[in-house]
Amino acid sequence: MKVLFFLIIVSVLNGACSRNIFSYEQKLAITEEYSTQEISFTSITDGIQLSGTLIFPNASFDKTVIIVPGSGKDTRHAHHLLAQEFLKNHIAVYRFDERGIGDSKGRYNETASSLQKDVISAYNELKNTTRLSNKKIGIVGHSLGGIASIGALSKGCNFDFLIQMATPVENNGAFLQYQVSTNIVGFYTVKGKTEAQVITFINTLRKAVQFDEDYQTSKAKAKAIIKQQNFQNGKHIINPAIIDLMKQNHEISYKESEVPILYIIGSEDKVVSAIDEIEILKKMNNPLITISLIHETDHYLNDISNNKNPSRYEISPAALDEIIQWTLTL
């Protein structure tokens, strides 16, 4: 079974895909209040061209957000409710088709490192776009998209603000231990192994992997650990996306950030621990980080009270209001 990793949610099961949109996405109705501009950019590392759309108010506006979804396949039509709310509040929105999706070239890639490079490239293109000169440009990163966004910040992208939605903060993929405990789709079930043994396996690999080594070197280490711990039934846990997560180290970027950051997460998130991540951020004592816990919401900040079972991107009104009001104060 293909791992759509990290969120450990199989995105393609949410509905079939057409060329330009998935069933969990929605095209916005562009009224006379708004205009669009197609903006493509080229990846800084491999020359792959990606395609996206800027939607902007015809009236005066001073901010633009780049919305970067989490793991799973997404087009420029993801996070439609969030995009719509930004536009209603005179904030322009840019979203792009991920690699190998929609009108973007290349092969689909599930790693945070690859997405980070595309975020950097998108930002560099937008800041040099005439229409956006003298406009503030911020990032809204969800989950994996949040990791890519904070990574881009650490690489010198001068974002004016950063919104992190349900994003792991802990270094070296430490949050994977929480995913083992929740195991929401059974991905971490390994025949003949207990939860504690699975966590031990993951932590052993986390300590062995080095951030500057290539995947094949990391994979060789994983094979040795599998043999050592008799973990052959757990081979499915090892893939490029998981290994890449174990190489992500961004705690220092949060702590030293001179850019305003809104960190927002749902109290019922089963993919990223709200308790663990908030505790780490609070200890950093960075006055530029605002922390918001939205009760009765899940990993997508969807309202799950009253036994609701919302589809992806049906972000709750409470979360929407928190994000918009914070952005408007900047």
- Residue ranges of domains in the chain: 14-169+250-328, 173-245
User: How distant is the alpha carbon of residue 157 from its chain centre?
Assistant: 17
Name the pLDDT band for 12 (thresholds 50, 70, 90). Answer: very low
Across the range 214-233, mean pLDDT stands at: 95
Q: Which residue has the tokens 């790693």?
A: 111
Looking at domain 14-169+250-328, what is its CATH homologous superfamily? Alpha/Beta hydrolase fold, catalytic domain (3.40.50.1820)
**Span of 15-19, 180-184, 226-230, 287-291 with lowest mean pLDDT:** 15-19
Name the pLDDT band for 307 (thresholds 50, 70, 90). Answer: confident
pLDDT at 151: 97
The residue type found at 193 is K
pLDDT at 287: 98
Residue 2, pLDDT above cutoff 90: no
Contacts of 271 (CB under 8 A, 6+ apart): 6, 7, 8, 9, 143, 166, 179, 182, 184, 299
> What's the farthest any 2 CA atoms get from each other in the chain?
64
Of 86, 93, 71, nearest in space to 146 by CA: 71
Residue 59, pLDDT above cutoff 60: yes
Residue predicted with more confidence, 233 or 5: 233
Across the range 160-165, mean pLDDT stands at: 98
**Alpha helices (runs of H) in the chain, residue ranges in sequence order:** 80-88, 112-127, 144-154, 176-182, 195-208, 215-228, 240-245, 251-256, 274-284, 317-328
pLDDT at 202: 96
Residue 239, pLDDT above cutoff 60: yes
Residue 214, pLDDT above cutoff 70: yes
pLDDT at 9: 38
How far is 1 from 187, CA to CA, in rounded Å? 10
User: How distant is the alpha carbon of residue 260 from its chain centre?
Assistant: 18
pLDDT at 308: 74
Strand-by-strand arrangement of the 261-266 sheet = 34-42, 49-57, 92-96, 63-68, 136-142, 161-165, 261-266, 289-294
Cβ(24)–Cβ(312) below 8 Å: yes
* Residue 104 main-chain phi, psi, to 5 deg: -90, 145
User: How distant is the alpha carbon of residue 298 from its chain centre?
Assistant: 15
Query: Which tokens is 315 given?
Result: 């972000």
* Residue 265 main-chain phi, psi, to 5 deg: -150, 155
Q: What's the mean pLDDT when you consider all of the chain?
A: 92
* Residue 106 main-chain phi, psi, to 5 deg: 85, -170
Run of H or E residues at 40? strand 34-42
Residue 30, pLDDT above cutoff 60: yes
Q: Is 72 exposed, middle or buried (0-12, 13-18, 19+ CB in 10 A)?
A: buried
User: In this predicted model, what pLDDT tens digit does every residue of 39-55 receive, in sequence order?
Assistant: 999 998 889 999 999 99
Residue 7, pLDDT above cutoff 80: no
Across the range 253-270, mean pLDDT stands at: 97
User: In this predicted model, what pLDDT tens digit does every residue of 71-81 receive, in sequence order?
Assistant: 999 999 999 99
Helix axes 195-208, 215-228, angle to 10 degrees: 140
Name the pLDDT band for 20 (thresholds 50, 70, 90). Answer: confident
pLDDT at 310: 79
Residue 5, pLDDT above cutoff 60: no
Residue 205, pLDDT above cutoff 70: yes
Name the pLDDT band for 320 (thresholds 50, 70, 90). Answer: very high
User: In this predicted model, what pLDDT tens digit does every residue of 80-120 receive, in sequence order?
Assistant: 999 999 999 999 999 999 999 999 999 998 999 999 999 99
Helix, strand, or coil here: 219?
A: helix
User: In this predicted model, what pLDDT tens digit does every residue of 134-146 receive, in sequence order?
Assistant: 999 999 999 999 9
Distances (CA, A) of 221 to 31, 206, 232, 235: 55, 10, 14, 12
